Amino acid sequence: GSVVTWGNPGNGGDCSAVQDQLRNVEQIQATSDAFAAILADGSVVTWGTPDLGGDCSAVQDQLRNVLQIQATGYAFAAILADGSVVAWGNADHGGDCSTVQDQLKNVQQIQATEGAFAAILPDGSLVACGQSESGGNCSAVQDLLVYL
């Protein structure tokens, strides 16, 4: 499908800069001020406030074979076909998962709060990143997070 946007241009209401790329759109996710679209070929197109996820150029080459995108209020995380995860946007709100990147393998699903991501692994364990107070650090309860 194609995309039509409206609203505040600086908050994603204007996609004219990427309109020609928004063909065969299969899924759209939004932060508070940006959008990310998965295209049929598994690539991603973003627009809106750059530092809130509207600019994925730093990770664009990694955004291939994307299956799912989830959003916090200020960042995006994408699950790729190989089960790895790519995040971008505001680093403090989940846009930088580098501290747990080595654990983000074979990810089954991602959920989000306003400021953190939680990824479910095949064994039922959980990996989180983002603001600690928003759920980005589950180390205190990690032993309780077991697959039942």
pLDDT by residue for the chain (148 residues), tens only, comes to: 889 999 998 889 999 999 999 999 999 999 999 999 999 999 999 999 999 999 999 999 999 999 999 999 999 999 999 999 999 999 999 999 999 999 999 999 999 999 999 999 998 888 999 978 887 877 777 776 665 5
User: Residue 135 has what pLDDT?
Assistant: 78
Quote the Cα angle for 83-2-10, to 5°: 85
User: Residue 146 has what pLDDT?
Assistant: 65
Where do the DSSP E strands lie in the chain? Answer: 25-30, 34-39, 44-48, 66-71, 75-80, 85-89, 109-112, 116-120, 126-130
User: Residue 42 has what pLDDT?
Assistant: 98
Would you say 45 and 52 are in contact if contact means Cβ atoms under 8 Å apart? no
- 99: nearest Cα among 140, 137, 59: 137
Would you say 72 and 91 are in contact if contact means Cβ atoms under 8 Å apart? no
Q: How far is it, in rounded angstroms, from Cα 32 to Cα 147?
A: 33
User: Residue 34 has what pLDDT?
Assistant: 97
